[in-house]
Amino acid sequence: MELDSRAAVPRVLAVDPKRPDPNVIAEAASVLAAGGLVAFPTETVYGLGARGLHPEEVARIFAAKGRPKAHPLILHVADAAMAAKLSRAWSERAEQLARRFWPGPLTLVVPRAAHVPDAVTGGLDSVGVRSPAHPVASALIVAAGEPLAAPSANAHTHVSPTTAAHVVRSLGDAVDLVLDGGPCAHGIESTVVDVTGPVTRVLRPGAVSLEELRSVDPDVTYGGIVVAETDDAARASPGLAAKHYAPRTDVVLASDARAVAAALAEVEASSPLAAITWSAAAKEAVTALGRPVRLIALPAEPTAYAAALFAALHDVDAAGVARLVIEAVPDDTAWWAVRDRLARAARR
C-alpha cells in the first residue's frame, strides 16, 4: 500500500510532550470516541490509535496502513490493572515484568480475555499489552477511558515514524488527527515478550535489553531474529514480517567498510546514492570513493544509534536515492534491536 503520494494531509495539533494541554488531549479523545484514528507519540515511535475493544474502529487501522488482518495489534493501557482485565490469566511473571518496566517500552503477550476482539489479536488466543511512558500517550489513554490499539503510524512494512511529519508523509488523510509531540526518545519499537508459556520468550527485540529482562527473570530466552515468511500469516507479535521497517529504495546491508564501498561502487555513476555508517573506517571508505554519496554517520553507541535510525531512513526516502548501503552493526546483544530492524529493512 503506497500512501506517500497523498496530497491531502490530516489535522495536526501541537502538544507539549512533557505537560500535554488537557484541552488538546480531550479533543483527541473525542475523535477516538467518534470512531476516528489518532496518531500520537510514544517513547518508542508514533502510534496509530483507535479504541481497542471496538472491532469496527480497529478495522480502520488495518485499512489505513494496508496491514494484513492476521497481524496482531498491541493494546496500550494506562497501567497493569487495565492490562490484567484484558487477560484471562494475568500471571505473577507478567506482574513482575510490568512492575519493573511499566510504564515503558516492554510489551507483554498474555492469554487473551474473551472480550478482546479477534480484530486485535489476528484470531490468536493471546494479546500484546503495553503501558507507554510518554505523557501524551498516557494522558490520551486515560482520557479515552479504555485500551487503545496502536501499531506504528506508517504504511505497512515501511519505516516506523519518529516524528509527526513522518506520519503525515506516510499516511496522509487516512488519519483523522495527529498529535505532534516532537521526536520520540527511543526511536525504536518496544521489546515484545511472551509470558503465556512456562518460560518467558522474546518475540521481538526492542528498547528494553536482554540483560534488563534477565535481571528480573533470569530464564528469559531469545532465539535470534524470527521471520514470518508468509506476510498474511498470524503471528504472536507485530514486527516479524520478513521485510519490514523498509525505505522504498534498494537497501544493501554491508558487512564492513570495504563491503560498503564495493556496494556503492557497483551502481552506475549517475545514480544518486546514500550510505549509513557508524565506524570511522566506513566513513573514510565512502569519502574515498570520490563520488557524491549522501552520507549519514550515526553514533557508534547502540542506544543513540537506535534513536536516530528511523529518522535517517526517512531522510533517505525523501532524498529519492537509487541505493542505500548500510554498514552492519556489531554482533552482540547491545545491538540486538538495531540488528533486527536492519535485517528486515534489507530483505528484498
String of DSSP letters for 21-56: -HHHHHHHHHHHHTT--EEE--SSS-EEEEETT-HH
Distance (Å, rounded) from C-alpha 149 to C-alpha 127?
A: 11
- Please tell me the total number of residues recorded for the chain in this structure: 348
Torsion sign (Cα): 82, 83, 85, 91 = negative
**Contact in structure between 213 and 205 (CB atoms under 8 Å):** no
pLDDT tens-digit map of 90-137: 999 999 999 999 999 999 999 999 999 999 999 999 999 999 999 999
| C-beta atoms surrounding 261 within 10 Å | 22
**pLDDT at residue 41 greater than cutoff 70:** yes
Cis peptide, bond prior to residue 41, ω within 30 of zero: no
Residue range 152-165: average pLDDT?
94
* pTM over 0.75, yes/no: yes
pLDDT, tens digit, for every residue of 278-322?
Answer: 999 999 999 999 999 999 999 999 999 999 999 999 999 999 999
What's residue 1's pLDDT? 30
pLDDT of residue 344: 87
Report the percent of the chain where pLDDT is more than 90: 84
Q: What is the mean pLDDT of residues 217-230?
A: 78
φ, ψ at 40 (rounded to 5°): -145, 155
Cβ(322)–Cβ(291) below 8 Å: no
Q: Give residue for cell 480497529.
A: 58
Q: Which of 108-112, 239-243, 258-262 has the weakest average pLDDT? A: 239-243
